[in-house]
Chain A
Amino acid sequence: MSYLRRNPSLVVGIVLLSALLLFVVIGHFVVDTSKSRPLSAPAVRAPSAAHPFGTDRQGRDLFAAMVAGTPLTLRIGFIAGFLGVGIGAMLGFVSAYYRGTLDAVIRGVVDIGLTVPGLLVLIIIAVSLRRGLTVDQMAIIVASLAWLNPARTIRAQVLSMRERGYVEVARLSGMSGPEIIVKELMPNLLPYLAATLVNSVSAAILASIGLEVLGLGPIDSPTLGMTLYWVNFNAALINGWWWWWAAPIVIILVVFLGLFFLTVGLDEIANPRLRRAI
């Protein structure tokens, strides 16, 4: 408790994300999520008591769309983020601990991969798979590039750690390579891994929204990005249907701010040197 007082960023992050979660959970009780499908409400209505967030041109209730779509977007982010950090961490650990040819290959792939504009690659993949994309497939497409950054940063962390005395002591105590990675290196990187994970999740959400706004997302699902696609498709901005884009934008803002503060908070745990005594 007293620690949380010294780490306000962590608190702000947790509060923002909890509020969002609360909105989704309560929303599921209050509104029928099937109203997020087209033709379930009168078209293009400003917010009212019956439709608190208004309705769109195809007759979706936007409140229902938000309640149903927010978890979908988060799901894409979390699946892609976890896959990315999982694969990235594994490659990073192996690459940095064993060095040699394997390291050179992994490093080469990562370096080249990171120079290619990610969105372009994702667009190409999404376009070639366009027919019948589901939310989970969307997550995997995003994950296909999400491991590059974690692999590089974790590799760097492990490189500096493997020179520590305790790694050598562990070797001399008869521990094997994989054991050293799991038992000696991993625990010390946990806060760092957590921070990387949150980072990856937010990057994945951003990437998925980017693809969806371009119309390359799961067309049948009311994810936040797809709602924005329909906003764009129907020129809601020009037509003055402000409620249509306001709701998803506010939610996306809360998601990113929440994740951002969470990363800053976790970073402070991972690098206590950043703690400033003022």
Chain B
Amino acid sequence: MRTLLEARSVTKVFGGGVFERSSTVALENFSLAIDADRPSIIAVVGESGSGKTTLARLLLGLTAPTSGHVLYEGQDLQQMSRERRRKFRRDIQVIFQDPYGVYNPFYRVDHVLATPVAKFGLARSRAAARTLIDEVLRDVGLRPEETLGRFPHQLSGGQRQRVMVARALLLRPRVILADEPVSMVDASLRATILGSLSAMHRERGISIIYITHDLATAYQISDTIVVLYGGAVAEVGDVELVVKQPQHPYTRLLLSSIPLATTARTWMSEFATVASSADTETGCKFAARCPSVEKVCRETAPPLFKTHAARAVACYLYRDAPTLDADAIGSVLTASAAASPPASQTIQPTRSRP
């Protein structure tokens, strides 16, 4: 497998400098790889504080990892030549969460589209640039004549977010990193934006890293999923497997917490566990909230156990399965559900000994 974008054992620690007493581990020993030849949609799911925003910034090269490497076509982002860096900037595009803050209020919306055209020399003439911009706007379902020439506040949140999708498309990227692209958009427009993302993947072979706190939209759009908790991978694998048969207690908690839009009321029946402040320094991050916590969980953090060809889970409940090195997560992500053995062969949780 040729990797396009790869995070290799990346750790990011905030604080902990000479003048600061405490430090926070935002992301710990995280690995992720995107295949250059087989475009995919990977969802990274986590709550606030799970490290998902840090991950996005690391993958974009907006911040440097404390240890480990972020590689683009095998080259470390931090040691790239100017020219390679420009190519990287073009190939990896982003859609941010906030469709308001990403616009400079001083300019018309044209500015965010015209700037990359000028900076990356995408068009030879003004007319060519205009044609190009019109084209991408139509691709995301916007009418150029109703969009261009307006100021950001004159467009709705959904329109603004679609202009950002158009901006990303303009550069013909190979990867689009979407950081909570629909969480600030009205419900009736969410599906439309996710639809354009999905179409970009299908029609243009663009890989998408979809970062979200919402398992339901993640399930809708992605092939594979990474569940983050406290800066570490809790569960990773094929999205059908992870969502339909969650293995990690945290994934189960997340799934049971989603208020489903059905009249079958299951939501209030069981009480969610309350987080306790007794965090373990070395053990499993989830130990304090876990209903099936064991002694070992508080002592050493569990490694990833490969419970299926297309999934792995960081939980001692599955200690019978072979362990998986963190930097081999890519192998799980690329093994698609179709190619993997049927679900009956998946390893069931080991009952904990009394």
Q: Which residues of A contact B (CB under 8 A)?
A: 164-166, 168-175, 184, 187-188
Q: Which residue of A lies closest to B120 (CB)?
A: A174
B278 sits at the interface (CB 8 A): no
Cβ 8 A contact of B104, one of A172, A174, A188: A188
Shortest distance between the CB of B152 and any CB in chain A (Å): 9
Interface residues on B, range: 20 to 34
Which residues of B (297-351) have their CB < 8 Å from a CB of A? Answer: none
Shortest distance between the CB of A52 and any CB in chain B (Å): 49
Separation of A168 and B112 alpha carbons in the complex (Å): 11
- Asked if A164 and B101 make an inter-chain contact with CB atoms under 8 angstroms apart, the answer reads yes
With A166-B102, A169-B112: A174-B96 Cβ-Cβ less than 8 Å:
no
By a CB distance below 8 angstroms, the chain B residues around A164 are: 101
- Asked if A166 and B89 make an inter-chain contact with CB atoms under 8 angstroms apart, the answer reads no
Separation of A170 and B94 alpha carbons in the complex (Å): 11
- Asked if B62 and A175 make an inter-chain contact with CB atoms under 8 angstroms apart, the answer reads no
Chain A interface SS verdict (over half)? helix
B93 sits at the interface (CB 8 A): yes
Digit string of B105-129 for contact with A (CB within 8 Å is 1, else 0)?
Answer: 1110000100110011000000000
B60 sits at the interface (CB 8 A): yes
With A164-B101, A165-B98, A165-B101: A172-B93 Cβ-Cβ less than 8 Å:
yes
- Asked if B106 and A169 make an inter-chain contact with CB atoms under 8 angstroms apart, the answer reads no
- Asked if B103 and A166 make an inter-chain contact with CB atoms under 8 angstroms apart, the answer reads yes
Separation of A232 and B146 alpha carbons in the complex (Å): 69
By a CB distance below 8 angstroms, the chain B residues around A174 are: 86, 89-90, 115-116, 119-120
11 additional contacts (CB under 8 A) given A170-B115, A173-B167: A165-B98, A165-B101, A165-B103, A171-B62, A173-B112, A173-B115, A174-B89, A175-B115, A184-B104, A187-B104, A187-B107
A–B pairs, 18, beta carbons within 8 Å: A165-B103, A166-B101, A166-B102, A166-B112, A168-B62, A168-B94, A168-B96, A169-B112, A169-B167, A171-B62, A172-B93, A173-B112, A174-B86, A187-B104, A187-B106, A187-B107, A188-B104, A188-B105
- Asked if B103 and A172 make an inter-chain contact with CB atoms under 8 angstroms apart, the answer reads no
Q: Which residue of B lies closest to A169 (CB)?
A: B102
By a CB distance below 8 angstroms, the chain B residues around A172 are: 60, 89, 93-94
Q: Which residues of B contact A (CB under 8 A)?
A: 60, 62, 86, 89-90, 93-94, 96, 98, 100-107, 112, 115-116, 119-120, 164, 167
Separation of A267 and B112 alpha carbons in the complex (Å): 28
By a CB distance below 8 angstroms, the chain A residues around B119 are: 173-175
By a CB distance below 8 angstroms, the chain A residues around B98 are: 165
Separation of A170 and B62 alpha carbons in the complex (Å): 12
Separation of A240 and B115 alpha carbons in the complex (Å): 68
Q: Which of B96, B104, B119 has the largest number of chain A CB atoms within 10 A? A: B104
A-B pairs, top 3 by smallest CB distance, nearest first, are A174-B119, A165-B102, A165-B101
- Asked if A166 and B104 make an inter-chain contact with CB atoms under 8 angstroms apart, the answer reads yes
Q: Which residue of A lies closest to B106 (CB)?
A: A187
By a CB distance below 8 angstroms, the chain B residues around A166 are: 101-104, 112
By a CB distance below 8 angstroms, the chain A residues around B112 are: 166, 169, 173
By a CB distance below 8 angstroms, the chain B residues around A171 are: 62
Q: Which residue of A lies closest to B171 (CB)?
A: A173
Q: Which of A166, A169, A173 has the largest number of chain B CB atoms within 10 A? A: A173
By a CB distance below 8 angstroms, the chain A residues around B103 are: 165-166
Q: Which residue of A lies closest to B102 (CB)?
A: A165
By a CB distance below 8 angstroms, the chain A residues around B62 are: 168, 171
Separation of A165 and B105 alpha carbons in the complex (Å): 11
Separation of A172 and B92 alpha carbons in the complex (Å): 9
By a CB distance below 8 angstroms, the chain B residues around A170 are: 104, 115
Shortest distance between the CB of A99 and any CB in chain B (Å): 12
Q: Which residue of A lies closest to B95 (CB)?
A: A169
Separation of A169 and B170 alpha carbons in the complex (Å): 14
Separation of A175 and B115 alpha carbons in the complex (Å): 8
Q: Which residue of B lies closest to A188 (CB)?
A: B106
